[in-house]
Structure 1
């Protein structure tokens, strides 16, 4: 007999300059059994114009978790992945599992410098950068996913502050502080996978998944498969929770 019990809550965290609407196709593919949320981070979507800071972004995700009952699986892509990592490190008791997509490059050195320059250029010409971003989404993704990316509006003017905030984080320390299960998911052609092995070693309970022939955003092309990976992570996280002793340790 099928259980009527609600599934594990899931909080989705969006990428840079887009909004929570980017996750609509995946949320629709998952269906209604899992309570889900995809909040807008500061400076994005309905919060466009607010300054972006990592503490505020983490607080936004933690609040979304609380709204769903206080504990949830986090799923983030790109900026959303870095924010999810920071949230798991800061609030491990609220995060039952973590799916971090396209965020296993340390945001420093030459890599960070390139993105700092790109962000500054975009912020000087935000409307043009927004139009180019929307065009890139349409060229890269199927129509439903491309539309979802732009549906909440684009915020290229926020990019310099976002890059500086991410550069100030220590994702390896966040992973080391988090005891729960972690899925590091990268497209085979994703430029954000350069330090994936270091990220994996930092996990206490980690696994690395490579999506063949996918880039940074095209990992979202197969919505059904992304939804399946999220549901698999939710099932493992649920099982770990049920195995926990009353003291909160996992047998």
Structure 2
């Protein structure tokens, strides 16, 4: 039985993986932890503490895992895989980036916004464009709070993993939604630099597309493991 570890986005929670947990749980062991400062896990959020928690989790598994990250969760997954490369059989990076200095502007704008405005602006994307999931997305965004975004985006703006990508000697699937324009070039860079990586651009998909097209996202994971 393969163990799949799912790493959610900044401002989200493990609940955002519910479709994949439900679909894969009967055939695989599926772990979807809340990152620090999110869901039921105390904070504050930081990239390194989050990566440490994921690295500890995969190190405790008896066999190497399939490690999946979306958005900033993909960056956390890369950091964890660099810490524990022998414990990762497959790596899946969706909408992720190794270097994002442009998010410093986004961080500065968020500093000026109240949490309620951030929640209102981002809940649609974090629900995968599905109105029935907006309440859950708003709850998760409020739990993480403004501080998680300021911390996380500040650290992401300063991070540059590009020199270390060639150390990821792990079969890697890089995914990006066709409509996730901001992350298409970073996805191409990841696929071109990680030695054993391939890129798939998903038609009509946005950023948090595991909720937008849950069956298709699950299919990509199933095909990779098979």
Unmatched tracts of structure 2, length 5 or more: none
Go from structure 1 to structure 2 and tell me whether the alpha carbon gap of 1:148 and 1:93 turns closer, same or farther (over 3 Å shift). farther
Match of 2:28 among 6, 10, 34: 34
* Residue 127 (str. 1) matches residue 116 (str. 2): yes
Q: What is the distance in 1 between the residues matched to 2:128 and 2:12?
A: 16
Question: Contact 2:104/2:153 (CA < 8 Å) preserved in 1?
Answer: no
Q: What is the distance in 1 between the residues matched to 2:112 and 2:51?
A: 26
Match of 1:170 among 153, 156, 160: 160
TM-score by length of 1: 0.80
Aligned residues: 223
Match of 1:240 in 2: none
Q: What is the distance in 2 between the residues matched to 1:96 and 1:218?
A: 23
* Residue 117 (str. 1) matches residue 111 (str. 2): no
Match of 1:229 in 2: 220
Go from structure 1 to structure 2 and tell me whether the alpha carbon gap of 1:15 and 1:69 turns closer, same or farther (over 3 Å shift). same
Shift of 1:120: 1.9
Go from structure 1 to structure 2 and tell me whether the alpha carbon gap of 1:103 and 1:118 turns closer, same or farther (over 3 Å shift). farther
TM-score by length of 2: 0.88
> CA deviation digits over 1:118-177, x for unaligned, max 9?
33234xx1234234433554581263x546545656323210100122223223234211
Unmatched tracts of structure 1, length 5 or more: 1-5, 236-251
Question: Contact 1:179/1:204 (CA < 8 Å) preserved in 2?
Answer: yes
Q: What is the distance in 2 between the residues matched to 1:26 and 1:40?
A: 15
Q: What is the distance in 1 between the residues matched to 2:213 and 2:128?
A: 15
Give the SS at the match of 1:45: coil
Shift of 1:115: 2.0
Shift of 1:208: 0.2
How do 1:1-251 residues align onto structure 2 when only pairs under 5 Å count? 6=1, 8-48=2-42, 50-69=43-62, 71-104=64-97, 106-108=99-101, 111-122=102-113, 125-134=114-123, 137=126, 140-141=129-130, 143=132, 146=134, 149-150=137-138, 152=140, 154=142, 155-157=144-146, 158-190=148-180, 191-218=182-209, 220-235=211-226
Task: Pick the structure with greater CA Rg.
Answer: 1
> CA deviation digits over 1:197-216, x for unaligned, max 9?
32222111000000001121
